[in-house]
Homo-oligomer: A and B are copies of this chain.
Amino acid sequence: MARPVDKNAVPAVTVPRLTMYLRKLRELQARGVERVSSKQLAGMIDLNAAQIRKDFSYFGEFGTRGVGYEVDRLVDEIKRCLGLERSWNVIIVGAGSLGTALARYRGFAEQGFKLTAMFDASHKKIGVSFGDGRCVRDVADLERFCEEEDVDIAIVAVPGHAAQSIIDRLVGLDPERRVRAILNFAPVKVFAPRDVVVRQVDFSSELMFLSFYLDRES
């Protein structure tokens, strides 16, 4: 008998891997693949099979030796575990080139992330449309917006020198209202209280992956 997932039992260490499994499993679904073994998955995503079996063990004992895991069921379990069965309200702070690019990024809506507002400090940008008839708001209204609306996640795409003060404002609100998750694209290390989750995006690491291969070949 499979036991239900206890989300709190799944350690944070597995999360980056879960997103990777999910992407690969959805590809398999799209190709009509019904079952996959840990060994097959290991070959596809560059991880060892034992690690994969350990990660999946949090979802109950439904892998069968020699038969593998049900792809549909794994997708459902991972989505549930990642909190992707509901939608999340997202704001973007910074309507520069990166913020604008992120606002147009199709993948967000497809995964249940709903862009509810965008903010900037520049009068050249405030009032400009960013899609669906909505306009960039004045960052001076950031606190009021967060107090009146449910904001789950803030994407910070401001210049490095401005990032920490924006984050301080987002997390400085009443604990009931404050933003509890931040995706920081500014190229600086930022700090937030322990109960606020912060992810730092670093494009350089993607390029390092490529340089590894190029250096090896040349």
**Docked-complex contact B205 and A90, CB < 8 angstroms:** no
A144 CB within 8 Å of chain B: no
A170 shortest CB reach to chain B, Å: 13
A122 shortest CB reach to chain B, Å: 15
**Docked-complex contact A88 and B12, CB < 8 angstroms:** no
Of A33-41, A65-73, A134-142, A180-188, the one contacting chain B is A180-188
Instruction: Convert A92-125 into 0s and 1s, putting 1 for each residue whose CB lies closer than 8 angstroms to a CB of B.
Output: 0000111011101111101111000000000000
A47 CB within 8 Å of chain B: yes
**Docked-complex contact B82 and A211, CB < 8 angstroms:** yes
Tally A residues with Cβ within 8 Å of B. 66
Which residues of B are found within 8 Å of A216, using beta-carbon distances? Answer: 7-8, 83
A195 shortest CB reach to chain B, Å: 8
A210 CB within 8 Å of chain B: yes
Select from chain B the residue with minimum beta-carbon distance to A83.
B215
A3 CB within 8 Å of chain B: no
Which residues of B are found within 8 Å of A11, using beta-carbon distances? Answer: 46
Select from chain B the residue with minimum beta-carbon distance to A27.
B189
The residue that A212 contacts in the complex, of B83, B90, B182, B183, with Cβ under 8 A, is B83
Which 3 A-B residue pairs are closest in the complex by CB-CB distance? Answer: A83-B215, A98-B101, A83-B211
23 pairs across A/B with beta carbons < 8 Å?
A: A12-B46, A12-B212, A12-B213, A18-B208, A23-B205, A51-B51, A81-B212, A82-B212, A82-B215, A83-B208, A83-B213, A83-B215, A98-B101, A107-B202, A153-B207, A181-B213, A183-B206, A183-B210, A195-B217, A197-B214, A199-B206, A199-B210, A201-B203
